[in-house]
């Protein structure tokens, strides 16, 4: 089962709460959290870490106090002690999301804000750009649909933005299915599948999973409040 967890930042954000929760993450992560200048950035980063712990406890019941995390050559993190637990985190605005799968997975969430056409023309394939032009009044939503789909795919394959976005094309059909095409071979990429979710009206969210089918995606994302994250750690916010 491919699961998607999401958490909205709490209304009240205090640095003392961050300090109280630091011991639940690694020393490396503690140092990074302390370096954030903006409190919202610290909360987003911390919630991402806590969502991973929450998802692990949901799957395995109990986990160690400190998770051993390493990264691949492109910076994608993985858990050393849980090789069959694949996850990916994304955040934007008020939301943090974590996708979980038995195999490679990627997720991207973006707040739907203004964008410029030259950026779309530079980063999108000809077909994607044409779909954007055809969308007309729905152009804003279409831009972020395409963008999050592409981002979720490159995060799933574990190469991040080292993978040129024009090497592959995303085509969203009317039934919601998404076709991924390798433009070098002009063949459809069949071993990855994408799905989009809606967690809030002003956000676009896409998940991409390896060796999966549409029936393996949980129908609805799992909402976890910040309070619930804290309670799962036997602490208080």
Residue 141, H or E segment: helix 139-156
Instruction: Report DSSP letters for 1-26, one per residue.
Output: -BEEEEEEPPSS--HHHHHHHGGGS-
Q: Which domain holds residue 136?
A: 3-232
* Residue 219 located in a structural domain: yes
* CATH code for the domain of 191: 3.90.470.20
pLDDT tens digit sequence for 158-213: 987 788 999 999 999 989 899 999 999 999 999 999 999 999 999 999 999 999 99
pLDDT, tens digit (0-9, with 9 covering 90-100), for 17-64: 999 998 888 788 888 888 999 999 999 999 999 999 999 999 988 776
Its pTM stands at 0.93
* Spatial contact of 102 and 156, defined as CB atoms under 8 Å apart: no
Residue 97 lies in a domain: yes
Count the domains in the chain: 1
Residue 237 maps to a domain? no
Q: What is the mean pLDDT of the chain?
A: 92
Q: What are phi and psi of 92, to 5 degrees?
A: -160, 135
Chain centroid offset of residue 96 CA: 8
């Amino acid at each position: 089962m491919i699961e998607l967890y999401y958490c909205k930042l709490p209304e009240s954000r205090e640095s003392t709460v961050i300090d109280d929760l630091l011991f639940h993450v690694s020393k490396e992560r503690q140092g990074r959290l302390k370096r954030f200048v903006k409190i919202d950035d610290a909360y987003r980063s911390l919630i991402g870490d806590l969502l991973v712990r929450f998802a692990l406890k949901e799957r395995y019941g109990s986990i160690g106090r400190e998770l051993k995390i390493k990264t691949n050559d492109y910076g994608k993190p993985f858990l050393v002690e849980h090789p069959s637990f694949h996850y990916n985190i994304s955040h934007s605005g008020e939301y943090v999301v974590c996708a979980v799968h038995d195999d490679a997975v990627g997720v991207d969430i973006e707040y739907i804000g203004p964008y410029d056409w030259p950026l779309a023309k530079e980063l999108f394939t000809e077909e994607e750009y044409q779909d954007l032009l055809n969308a007309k009044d729905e152009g804003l939503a279409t831009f972020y649909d395409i963008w999050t789909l592409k981002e979720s795919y490159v995060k799933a394959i574990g190469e991040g933005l080292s993978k040129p976005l024009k090497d592959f094309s995303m085509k969203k059909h009317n039934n919601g299915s998404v076709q991924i095409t390798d433009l070098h071979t002009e063949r459809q990429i069949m071993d990855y599948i994408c799905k989009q979710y809606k967690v809030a009206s002003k956000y676009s969210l896409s998940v991409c999973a390896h060796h999966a089918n549409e029936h393996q995606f949980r129908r609805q994302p799992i909402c976890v409040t910040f309070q619930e994250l804290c309670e799962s750690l036997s602490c208080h916010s």
